[in-house]
Structure 1
């Protein structure tokens, strides 16, 4: 990230320079801290659902780094002049529900009066220094696995525009409030070489970060990428968030997608809230992970592969 300088502290294992999902600080030869912070605006109308989604979103960064969340602090921006305190109570209760599910201890927080409602958490986790996962260490020959379907940004936009069906809204809320905990626990049994979670930059944006960091090219198999229901109709109705177009404008020069109609790519640029993990594993490990995930009822789909570096970091075919 421009403007940020990496600390000279030798115990800093992962800093801001690689756009990883969290920072990692070594305490002892066997213990390091994973730290992250995330704040979002409401992607759902229900306050408790908003709290759950915001907490799941913040916790995801720790899972993506190979860590286990242990403590968290609430960060609330609340328009007290326009919303009753009962709304805040429901948001915090939803966040607490997710922290309980994650086995993560709430230690406090901070509330700011603001014109726009926002909620998030700072989260601290633990990891063995040798087991830290990065977004910049994918290897040519790896296969890529995604653990949630895409489409939450488009559906959230349609909810605001009152064009989403109740079923579409319920599906998006269910995915966004699903912890990545079980997927991460399974992942760690199968020697992943790299991992990130899919959030605001969309699938293609996070693939670009992963590819550029490792000096590789990522091939995405368009037909294999899982999507939430009804996205094509919502896109046709114009329910595309501004962030989706910003992602497209930013990352389109980095991808080779000449065989596809441009509108088919929009879900791949869709900014996700509390999206899935994108995991890079050797083929045998990926196959074992997919088999274990299926047996455990954990959503996981193969979506592509890692190639030696080419002129463009992402190929969509």
Structure 2
């Protein structure tokens, strides 16, 4: 197959979902995980008697809704383990590999850690798409892994009805640098490192509405590594950290606030947003995942306008880092962020628990 033939293939035509919008909704996920075994319920021989685990303990597992699993390895350090994969959110195979890889690696950064290596997860419809296109996906993945300073060390592939790609990523973090999404404190100010709206733009592209001058915005943003998280892990005034993906800003903010037994107040005008969203929302360009999100957690949010719903619940693929910073350290934090290339301003704060989890002004 020639290069021009592979470039003519549009990957999004071969999948029913796209990017992190493929995520199972929070409400359905609750049903799947209901009654799950907690780590405390594991047999003693699993937690304690194994030679491998004698001095190791799982400190973040599936009994919290954090971004990755974390195991204390007994020397002041911990190992981070995560996986993420999805169906194409862009047509270009190389970009798909880059975006899926940046998205998966982000979970390590969201714990305040540094990635060590990645393993590829590939599902490919060999009866529909040539293997050369899958090779381009892997090339995109290798490019992002190189940027993150880690090897793409192996992987596993299957013949599947739809194209799927992602990574399993191993990372590390010092225990005193570990960040979680449920450890925020009252008064913390909220920051976001990437503007919202990639779900709206990618939906506009699928509908044929996206203007040529906007075609590169979402892919470029989604392929941006969240490596800032490794620095955030070293900042003691960063009290909680997570990344914003398929549940939208509202969903991940609810996890942070609710997990910390707090509520959040959001100033909508100061939330980072891509500037061209209004014109696409006027054309009803928003992904189906937005309404699934709202159906899952809308009862936890105070009244919203339509625009606020569509933007704040927009599923993000490889979205930005959501950061909770102690109120007396915001000036120092913003200085550090600026030095790292991020011009951040707070868009809200965490307050004592109220009737709703999130209020939007």
Q: Is the pair's TM-score, using the shorter chain for normalization, greater than 0.5?
A: yes
1:287 aligns with 331
Q: Give structure 1 stretches of 5+ with no counterpart.
A: none
Deviation at 1:118, TM superposition (A): 1.1
1:4 aligns with 36
Deviation at 1:206, TM superposition (A): 0.5
Deviation at 1:97, TM superposition (A): 0.6
Distance 1:286 1:72 in 2: 34
Distance 1:123 1:299 in 2: 29
* Alpha-carbon displacement from aligned partner over 1:87-119 (angstroms, at most 9, x marks no partner): 111110111111111112222100111111110
Say if 2:360 is the partner of 1:316: yes
* Rg comparison, structure with higher value: 2
Root-mean-square deviation (CA, aligned residues, Å) is 1.4
* Alpha-carbon displacement from aligned partner over 1:155-196 (angstroms, at most 9, x marks no partner): 111111111123322111111000000x21442343211001
Misfit runs of 4+, over 6 Å = none
Equivalent pair of 1:47/1:91 in contact (CA under 8 Å)? yes
Correspondence for 1:37 among 83, 104, 108: 83
1:303 aligns with 347
Q: TM-score, normalised by structure 1?
A: 0.95
Equivalent pair of 2:112/2:231 in contact (CA under 8 Å)? no
Say if 2:266 is the partner of 1:220: yes
Deviation at 1:287, TM superposition (A): 2.2
The structure where strand makes up a greater share of residues is 1
Correspondence for 1:241 among 264, 278, 287: 287
Matches within 5 A, 1:48-87: 48-87=94-133
Distance 1:26 1:166 in 2: 49
2:147 aligns with 101
2:233 aligns with 188
Distance 1:135 1:157 in 2: 29
Equivalent pair of 1:186/1:293 in contact (CA under 8 Å)? no
Correspondence for 2:257 among 211, 228, 240: 211
**Residue aligned with 2:73, SS:** strand
Distance 2:129 2:233 in 1: 42
Q: Give structure 2 stretches of 5+ with no counterpart.
A: 1-32, 49-56
Equivalent pair of 2:179/2:233 in contact (CA under 8 Å)? no
2:183 aligns with 137
**Residue aligned with 2:233, SS:** helix
Q: TM-score, normalised by structure 2?
A: 0.84
Equivalent pair of 2:178/2:233 in contact (CA under 8 Å)? no
Distance 1:295 1:128 in 2: 23
Correspondence for 2:321 among 277, 280, 284: 277
